[in-house]
């Protein structure tokens, strides 16, 4: 058959074989405003699919068929055309755990075709010249090949499913284009049966959290930039713009005389000449030496023409022309080290100004870093997905006071994942989320900063850049790839600043699992919420608030979402806690406190139930649902919380009629009289260290009397805890008596 889409599925069985001039997809599916003539054609070796994405953060989605071996290329292209134009076959839609849609998004199409390209090259190496030569034994080897190339679980799953998709379309393809059923799709087969293939599914739960040693200083740097540095950067941004806005569109009469008078003034007062120090300094200097001999030379840097022009209200050409025609006017004028704005620098790092001044050439870089810090703050502390963040619009965040006086910040925006029409197809532009996201104050602040920094409706416009390239197929918002690159550059800048201020402890190290990307933030936030409530004080409080805001943002949503990621991380943290608890007890540690018995029982029960490992979804659900195993013991804590909601003194609604008990403790409000507390010898060692630290602080230097009294009080309380622990602790296992252990040890 010769190719028109209408022939497929409408007028009887037809096989996909488009002619070269057939569009790769119909105009009706393209972004509004796309011309029919701009659509890619089947015969093109490069298919640009970006017009299928109607979102603002869309970017190029080009598929390059040239890199598919020639012998296999036509077959893969015909199959590709089928995947774009024919609905996903039922067999894929209805298989267990499937999340595929009747019609794929451009990103999914591109991933599928990239996987095919890799398969095609591998097949060519195995002397396959036509898809119908692909047999079972060949496919059986492919997952192993992928694993040997270093691909991790998620990507291997994607590649295998792309092959499954190729097979699923076989009935619609020419006989020569049909592959056999992949062995992992045979009845009873599991992907994990194949060497190198993953045993479970992929998805957000397998995303690796950013390492805590990376995320903590990165977040501290972002919050400091948005909170402390933002006023200075925004003031410099405004000053630089008003300086440049004063440059008239055409030369002003009398301008040259003003420039001469200005230079004379500099000469008389000894003030420095504004000098250009931008990235192109070297190239400009070379060009000027050729075109304007005398203007520059050894020991004479380039004057900052636009700075001078803005200062005097003349054109930059007037400045350039005068300096070229009358180089002597610079005689006796001292050159500066740059072109600093008059903007005062108010923020401090460690008690000194965070920078000496702000050069007009640095303003755009600083503004881009500030926008990146705001992006990081919003993306990480809101739990929103990358595309949701990048499509946010001006005015999206509102503050409202509740009856109880607390302030809630709400973000209204578009969401994309799982947004489908009545046929189950993804709506390319997403839709406004019916339930706004609840966010904490720093997110609101970051959005306010962005609203001041950018123009137009979007908070993350693509044009807010030093080198935005206008391309027809790009959306108006920043793409995820650009956003990730900005985050990397922000981290490098923050590290330079930390080095300048000799704050090596604030340096952001490289993440052992690769680049810090927006996709990893949701999982990372969940990790921190469950493990670091007692970490750095400021961050600990933020994470405490974050759990509540995520709960409000995602509560009541039945499908997989942020809460599931939070649950997974909570279960993993509890498993770690109980594994460690069992280890401590086995080592002969003593336990004290009103909940000591429950702590010991929980460690024993966990050891008996999960000694072989803790991996499946069912296991983590069971752990979360077991009220006897709700044990919370973040690193460096001074106690363990054996959470029983009915006893939790940190729950302000405990015992109130109609009040829902809290599912997790609020460790930032922990009460020393709570019946959920237990302590092991390890906690008491930490308490002893704290007593020693306080002693050293008092002995170290002059501490004001009221503070000294407070420290002494704290010391007395801690000493009391140590004494009580030593007097009342119980030892479930004696280190001297190995027979006192669980059977099987």
- Which CB atom, from 387 or from 676, has the smaller least distance to ligand SF4? 676
Instruction: Compute the distance between CA of residue 194 and CA of residue 153 in angstroms, rounded to an integer.
Output: 12
Q: 368 or 650, CB closer to ligand SF4?
A: 650
Of 70 and 673, which has the nearer Cβ to ligand SF4? Answer: 673
- Placement of tokens 């992929």 in the chain: 202
Nearer Cβ to ligand SF4 (168/603): 603
Show the tokens assigned to 464: 């807010």
Stretch that binds ligand SF4, among 297-305, 397-405, 571-579, 644-652 (CB under 6 A): 644-652
Write the DSSP symbol of residue 147.
H
Q: Count of residues binding ligand SF4 (CB under 6 A)?
A: 12
Is residue 641 within the footprint of ligand SF4 (CB under 6 A)? yes
Cα–Cα dist 413/541, whole Å: 26
190: CB partners within 8 A, 6+ apart: 184, 199
Residues 562 and 382: their CA atoms lie apart, in Å, by 10
Contacts of 139 (CB under 8 A, 6+ apart): 163, 179, 180, 182, 183
375: contact with ligand SF4 by CB under 6 A: no
Judged by CB, which is closer to ligand SF4: 267, or 663?
Answer: 663
Q: In the bound complex, what is the minimum distance in angstroms from residue 627's beta carbon to ligand SF4? A: 13
Range 251-270, binding ligand SF4 (CB under 6 A): none
- Please report the sign of the dihedral spanned by the C-alpha atoms of residue 310, residue 312, residue 315, residue 317: negative
Q: What is the DSSP letter of 86?
A: S
476 vs 644, beta carbon nearer ligand SF4? 644
Question: Smallest gap, in angstroms, from Cβ of residue 664 to ligand SF4?
Answer: 9
Closest CA to 152 of 207, 114, 94: 207
CB of 530 to ligand SF4, least distance (A): 14
Is the Cβ of residue 236 or residue 670 nearer to ligand SF4 in the bound state? 670
DSSP string, 478-502: PPHHHHHHHHHHHHHHHHHHHHHTT
**b/e for 205-231, b at 16 or more Cβ within 10 A?**
bebebbbeebbbbbbbbbbbbbbebbe
How many other CB atoms are there within 10 angstroms of residue 653's CB atom?
A: 13
Give least dist CB 641 to ligand SF4, A. Answer: 3
Positive/negative CA dihedral, 708, 712, 713, 717: positive
Q: Using the minimum distance from each CB to ligand SF4, give the nearer residue, 56 or 641.
A: 641
Among 318, 517, 676, 680, binds ligand SF4 (CB under 6 A): 676
Q: How far apart are CB 459 and ligand SF4 at their closest, in Å?
A: 37
Strands (E), 78-159: none
Q: Write the interaction track for ligand SF4 spanning residues 424-463; mark x where CB under 6 A is met and - where it is not.
A: ----------------------------------------
Q: Which stretch binds ligand SF4 (CB under 6 A): 166-174, 254-262, 484-492, 645-653?
A: 645-653
Nearest-angstrom CA–CA distance, 234 and 456: 17
Report which of 491, 488, 510 is spatially closest to residue 499, judged by C-alpha positions: 491
Q: Is 411 exposed, middle or buried (0-12, 13-18, 19+ CB in 10 A)?
A: buried
The closest alpha carbon to 460, from 432, 483, 439, 430, belongs to 483
Q: In the complex with ligand SF4, which residue's Cβ is closer, 670 or 721? A: 670
Shortest distance, CB of residue 608 to ligand SF4, whole angstroms? 24
Smaller CB distance to ligand SF4: residue 472 or 541? Answer: 541
Residue where the block lists tokens 């996903």: 88
Return all residues near 211 (Cβ < 8 A) that are at least 6 apart.
Answer: 509, 511, 512, 513
Q: Which is nearer to ligand SF4, 392 or 650 (CB)?
A: 650
Compute the least distance from the CB of residue 533 to ligand SF4, in Å. 9
Q: Which is nearer to ligand SF4, 414 or 729 (CB)?
A: 729
Q: Of 448, 470, 467, 468, nearest to 459 (Cα)?
A: 448
Nearer to ligand SF4, 138 or 624 (CB): 624
In the complex, the smallest distance separating the C-beta of residue 483 from ligand SF4, rounded to whole angstroms, is: 37
What is the closest distance, in whole angstroms, from the C-beta atom of residue 639 to ligand SF4 in the complex?
Answer: 7
d(CA 88, CA 104): 8
Name the minimum Å distance from CB 580 to ligand SF4. Answer: 17
Question: At its nearest, how many Å lie between ligand SF4 and the CB of residue 674?
Answer: 3
Q: How far is the CB of 236 from ligand SF4 (least distance, A)?
A: 45
Rounded alpha-carbon distances, angstroms, from residue 724 to 276, 588, 675, 711: 69, 18, 15, 20
Rounded to a whole number of angstroms, the minimum distance from the CB of residue 555 to ligand SF4 is 21
Q: What is the CB-side half-sphere exposure of residue 140 using CA atoms within 13 A?
A: 7
Spell out the alpha helix ranges (H) of 227-304: 230-245, 255-269, 281-291
Measured from the CB atom, the residue of 671 and 714 that comes closer to ligand SF4 is: 671
Q: Nearest distance from residue 673's CB to ligand SF4, in Å?
A: 8
Q: Pick the piece of the chain touching ligand SF4 (CB under 6 A) from 90-98, 217-225, 335-343, 640-648.
A: 640-648
Does residue 325 contact residue 342 with C-beta atoms inside 8 Å?
no
Of 213, 212, 224, 218, the residue nearest 486 (C-alpha)? 218
Residue 598 as a binder of ligand SF4 (CB under 6 A): the answer is no
Q: Does 529 bind ligand SF4 (CB under 6 A)?
A: no
- Residue 705 CB, nearest distance to ligand SF4 (Å)? 31
Of 114-133, binders to ligand SF4 (CB under 6 A) are none
Interaction between residue 677 and ligand SF4 (CB under 6 A): yes
CA distances to 70, 145, 181 from 114, rounded to whole Å, are: 16, 16, 20
Contact (Cβ atoms closer than 8 angstroms) between residue 226 and residue 174 = no
Residue 244 or 649 having the CB closest to ligand SF4? 649
Beta-sheet pairing, 591-592 with 677-680:
antiparallel
Is 683 a binder of ligand SF4 (CB under 6 A)? no
Binding string, residues 646-675; x marks residues near ligand SF4 by CB under 6 A? --xxx--------------x-x--xx--x-
Which residue of 224, 369, 547, 643 would you call a contact of ligand SF4, by CB under 6 A? 643
Q: What's the token pair of residue 347?
A: 């923020």
- CB of 439 or CB of 591, closer to ligand SF4: 591
Q: Does 722 bind ligand SF4 (CB under 6 A)?
A: no
Residues near ligand SF4 (CB under 6 A): 641, 643, 648-650, 665, 667, 670-671, 674, 676-677
């Amino acid at each position: 058959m010769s190719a028109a889409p209408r022939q497929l599925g409408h007028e009887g069985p037809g096989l996909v074989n488009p002619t070269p001039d057939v569009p790769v997809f119909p105009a009706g599916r393209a972004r509004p405003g796309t011309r029919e003539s701009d659509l890619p054609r089947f015969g093109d070796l490069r298919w640009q699919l970006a017009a299928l994405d109607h979102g603002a953060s869309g970017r190029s989605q080009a598929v390059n068929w040239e890199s598919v071996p020639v012998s296999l290329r036509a077959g893969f292209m015909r199959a590709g055309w089928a995947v774009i134009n024919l609905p996903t076959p039922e067999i894929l839609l209805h298989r267990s755990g499937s999340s595929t849609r009747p019609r794929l998004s451009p990103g999914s199409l591109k991933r599928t075709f990239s996987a095919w390209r890799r398969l095609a090259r591998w097949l060519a190496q195995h002397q396959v010249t036509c898809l119908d030569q692909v047999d079972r034994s060949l496919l059986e080897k492919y997952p192993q090949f992928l694993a040997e190339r270093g691909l991790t679980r998620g990507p291997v799953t994607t590649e295998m499913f792309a092959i499954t998709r190729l097979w699923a379309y076989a009935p619609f393809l020419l006989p020569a284009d049909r592959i056999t059923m992949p062995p992992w799709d045979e009845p009873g087969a599991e992907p994990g049966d194949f060497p190198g293939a993953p045993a479970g599914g992929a998805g957000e739960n397998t995303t690796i959290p950013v390492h805590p040693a990376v995320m903590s200083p990165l977040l501290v740097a972002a919050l400091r930039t948005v909170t402390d540095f933002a006023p200075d950067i925004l003031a410099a941004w405004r000053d630089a713009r008003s300086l440049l806005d004063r440059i008239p569109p055409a030369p002003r009469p009398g301008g040259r005389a003003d420039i001469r008078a200005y230079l004379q003034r500099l000469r008389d007062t000894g003030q420095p000449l504004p000098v250009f120090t931008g990235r192109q300094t070297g190239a400009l200097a070379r060009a000027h030496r050729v075109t304007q001999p005398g203007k520059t030379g050894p020991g004479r840097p380039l004057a900052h023409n636009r700075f001078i022009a803005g200062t005097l209200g003349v054109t930059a050409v007037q400045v350039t022309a005068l300096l070229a025609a009358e180089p002597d006017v610079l005689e006796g004028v001292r050159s500066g080290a740059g072109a600093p704005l008059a903007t005062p620098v108010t923020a401090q790092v460690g008690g000194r100004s965070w920078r000496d001044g702000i050069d007009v050439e640095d303003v755009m870089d600083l503004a881009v870093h500030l926008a990146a810090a705001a992006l990081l703050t919003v993306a990480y502390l809101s739990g929103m997905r990358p595309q949701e963040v990048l499509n946010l619009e001006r005015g999206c965040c509102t503050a409202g006071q509740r009856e109880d006086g607390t302030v809630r910040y709400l973000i209204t925006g578009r969401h994309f994942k799982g947004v489908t029409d009545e046929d189950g197809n993804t709506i390319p532009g997403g839709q406004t989320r019916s339930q706004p996201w609840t966010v904490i104050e720093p997110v609101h602040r970051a959005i306010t900063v962005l609203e001041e920094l950018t123009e137009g409706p979007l908070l993350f416009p693509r044009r807010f850049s030093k080198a935005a390239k206008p391309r027809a197929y790009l959306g108006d918002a920043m793409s995820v790839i650009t956003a990730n690159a900005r985050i990397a550059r922000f981290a490098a800048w923050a590290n330079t600043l930390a080095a300048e201020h000799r704050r090596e402890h604030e340096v952001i190290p490289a993440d052992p699992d690769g680049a810090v990307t927006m996709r990893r933030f949701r999982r990372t936030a969940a990790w921190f919420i469950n493990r670091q409530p007692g970490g750095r004080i400021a961050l600990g409080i933020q994470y405490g608030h974050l759990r509540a805001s995520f709960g409000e943002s995602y509560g009541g949503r039945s499908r997989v979402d942020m809460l599931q990621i939070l649950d997974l991380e909570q279960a993993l943290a509890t498993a770690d806690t109980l594994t460690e608890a069992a280890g401590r007890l086995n080592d002969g540690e003593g336990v004290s406190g009103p909940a000591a018995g429950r702590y010991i029982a929980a460690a024993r029960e966990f050891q008996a139930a999960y000694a072989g490992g803790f991996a499946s979804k069912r296991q983590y659900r069971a752990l979360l649902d077991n009220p006897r195993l709700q044990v919370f013991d973040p690193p460096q804590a001074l106690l363990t919380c054996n959470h029983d909601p009915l006893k939790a003194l940190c729950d302000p609604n405990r015992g109130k009629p109609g009040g829902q008990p809290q599912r997790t403790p609020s460790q930032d409000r922990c009460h020393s009289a709570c019946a959920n507390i237990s302590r092991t010898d390890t906690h008491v060692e930490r308490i002893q260290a704290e007593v020693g630290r306080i002693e050293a602080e008092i002995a170290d230097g002059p501490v004001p009397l009221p503070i000294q009294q407070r420290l002494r009080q704290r010391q007395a309380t801690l000493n009391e805890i140590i004494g009580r622990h030593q007097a009342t602790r119980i030892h479930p296992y004696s280190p001297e008596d190995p027979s006192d252990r669980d059977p099987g040890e």
